[in-house]
Each structure stands twice: as structure tokens, then as C-alpha cells.
Chains A and B, each alone.
Chain A
């Protein structure tokens, strides 16, 4: 398990680098595609609960240290996505092999829609009431589309990384 954690941590840090160097700069209609949410989601869809949550924490915490938004929010949303997806993944709902080809993209798309809402709602819990005033709808749509498009290859990568770490689902 420790080897798996190490591998996932390294890959997550690369995803973090990808987020900061590419996705946060190349915006779609001014919106940042949140790879730091997509990666834990994909780990979850691949059926890795612990690794998914771990990657969400690592990605979220490092991301939040670069932003002025409430610290820890990105991580909490990532954990929720990873956990929810892993429940589905373990039941084979989002499984790449047995489920219909469109199931994984649809689940990722729904996650892309839900994540910004969850973020704003948790922000309100953290007494930060201004987050909803931005372009939340645009953020939802862009992330949903982006997640849906790349869900299958990223989930395949997540499955490969999980196997590389020697972890069984």
C-alpha cells in the first residue's frame, strides 16, 4: 500500500503541475478546468477509495496553497468526489470494461457539474459567501464538458497507476 501511495503521490504532483502550468493558464471562457478534481474522481471511478481520497487531499492542499480562496475547500470537494466515485466504481457502475462506454463520461460530467456547487456551498459553510457571485454556471458547464471528454483516458490512467502501485481494488 505504501508503494501505491508513493506512486499516486508522485502522479498527483504531476497533475498538480499540469494544473498550475497549463490548465490555470489556458482557460476556457475564463474558466479553469479543475484537473485536481478530475484526477481523484478518476481514481475513485477506477475503484480505488483510499488512493482516490489521498490524491484528493494531496492535490487539494497543494492547490489551495496557491489560491486565495478558503484553505482546504478544494481538497474537501476532491475527497467527496473521490469517495462518491469510488462507491460507484466498486459496484462496477463506472467500470471501463463492463459498463457501457458512455457511463464513465456521464458520471464525470455530472461530477463536473456538482463539484463547483459543492465548492460554493462549502465556502458558505466556511463563512465565505462571495463565491456564488462569480460565474458558477459557466464553471459548472465548462468543467462538466471537460470532465466528460477526458474521463475515459484519465480513468484508464488512474487504473494503470493503481495497478503500478500493486494495489487491488
Chain B
């Protein structure tokens, strides 16, 4: 059994890399147990829901959320497009999400821990998904791809504490860096200079600066609260993600790389 396990790990190591190999091996071992538990837990959940066709309704609901999200994204992008048009003389040929190819994928798993905000998706390297690509859904930026396998990828959400995004608003003359504050805490920005004119409700979009991690104009978050500490020369922002991250079922991976 030990030899078989070592052989399996070796094969996985040489085909898909160390961590991917470990993950694949772990998935192989745990999957039957998780499947069994899921098979028991799911009907109980359905009983609690009290609906015979709960699964179908849920799937339909997820699909509708996805379509609604795409519509919201398009709506938000129209606003950004208007701003882009105003600056067209200086930004000709700058790539924009609506003109870039996307790969649609289904969310297959969410991070099992409270300490990381990530999701796994159903498309990977074989479908053209690469690390660093932005991911959008439900009306805005969801995150970026941080790891891929041939058949799947891991997306770090914008609320993850390790996420950073350069954003702008209004005329696009000022940029800010916003960061994730954890699964439940949305996003935030600190040390925002007092001369910056931001008020609750302002939509922040990716700034698309040269060398940035995202193309311009993707809605990231709305300002929820502006906090000024008395005597301080800067203020901090509490932001609400533009995308509904709590109900991610389908996402679009934008085939755009930072270097392009």
C-alpha cells in the first residue's frame, strides 16, 4: 500500500507538480469520504428546505444569478465606458473587459478555511486559464487566478487579505490601492489623502495603469463608509465589493495577462 501510494505521488509529481500532486492525491483519498458525507448531508438539507425540487430550483437560481451578474457587470461597465470615451484620445487601443475573450467556468469549491478567501473553478490550463488572469462575475471583479491545473484553477477573491487592486473613480485622475480585509469584512483602503474627493456610493474601478494586474474599467467596489480620524491627515475607506461574492456559481475568466 505504501509503495502504491509512493508510486501514485511520484506520477502526480512528474505530471502536475508538487502541490498539485499533493492536492490531487489528497482529493483521491478524501473524495469518497466527502462524497459519502455529502450524500447523507444533502438530503437532510433538502428536507430542511422543505421543497421537493430544491436541487433544480437551486441550480436554476444559480444560473439566474450568473445571468443577472453579467447584466450588472455590463451595466457597470457602461458607466466606465463612458469615462473611457471621454479619455479616448489618450487611451486608444487600451484593452477593456467587454472586448477581451473570456472563459466561463463553474465554481466547484470554496475555500475550506476561514483564513483564505478563494474558490476553485472548473476550467484550467487546458482551457486557456493562466495564473494572474482576472476573474469577473455577478457585476464586478471577483479576483484573480493564483494557481492552475490542467482541468481546474484556484481564484483568490478580492476580499482575501493578500489581495491588492489599483482602483480609480470619476475622471480617473487619481488612483488608490485597496486591499481585502477577510472573508466577511469586504475591502478597504487606508491612508487616503484628505484632498481626495470620495463619498459613500462612489463606484471604484480598476485603474489599468501600465504594469497593473488588471485591465481598466472593471468595477471593484462601492464606497460604503469614509472614516476620518480627528487630527489625522488621511482617512480610511470601507468598501463593499461590486460583485456578489456570497453567491458565486459561475464566473468569467478574462483572458488578459498583466504583461499584455
Residues of A within 8 A of B (CB): 13-14, 16-22, 24-25, 27, 29-32, 34, 61-63, 65-69, 71, 74, 116, 119-120, 123, 130-131, 133-135, 138-139
Contacts and interface: CB of A to CB of B under 8 A. Distances in A.
SS class, residues of chain A in contact with chain B: helix
SS class, residues of chain B in contact with chain A: mixed
Contact of A62 (B26, B36, B183): B26
How extensive is the interface on chain B, given as a class?
Answer: 35 or more
Contacts of A13: 29-30, 33
A62 B30 contact: yes
B37 A22 contact: yes
Given A20-B30, A135-B182, A68 B154 contact: yes
A52 B41 CA distance: 26
Interface in B21-80: 22-23, 25-27, 29-30, 32-38, 41
Nearest to B159: A134
Given A30-B183, A134-B161, A135-B185, A14 B113 contact: no
Nearest to A58: B29
Interface string B14-26: 0000010011011
Interface of B: 19, 22-23, 25-27, 29-30, 32-38, 41, 109-116, 118, 146-147, 154, 156, 161-162, 181-185
A30 B184 contact: yes
A18 B37 contact: yes
Report, nearest first, the 7 A-B pairs whose CB atoms are least far apart.
A134-B182, A17-B33, A65-B26, A24-B112, A17-B34, A30-B184, A21-B38
Contact of A135 (B33, B118, B162, B183): B183
A67 B109 CA distance: 10
B143 to A, nearest CB: 11
Nearest to A23: B112
A72 to B, nearest CB: 11
13 contacts: A16-B30, A17-B34, A20-B37, A20-B112, A22-B37, A30-B184, A62-B26, A65-B25, A69-B115, A130-B162, A133-B182, A138-B184, A139-B115
Nearest to A132: B161
A66 B184 contact: no
B32 to A, nearest CB: 8
B115 A134 contact: yes
A18 B183 CA distance: 21
Contacts of B113: 24, 32, 34, 63, 67, 69, 74
Given A66-B27, A134-B185, 18 more contacts: A17-B32, A17-B35, A20-B30, A22-B38, A24-B113, A25-B110, A29-B184, A32-B113, A65-B19, A65-B25, A67-B112, A69-B113, A119-B115, A131-B161, A133-B181, A133-B182, A134-B115, A135-B114
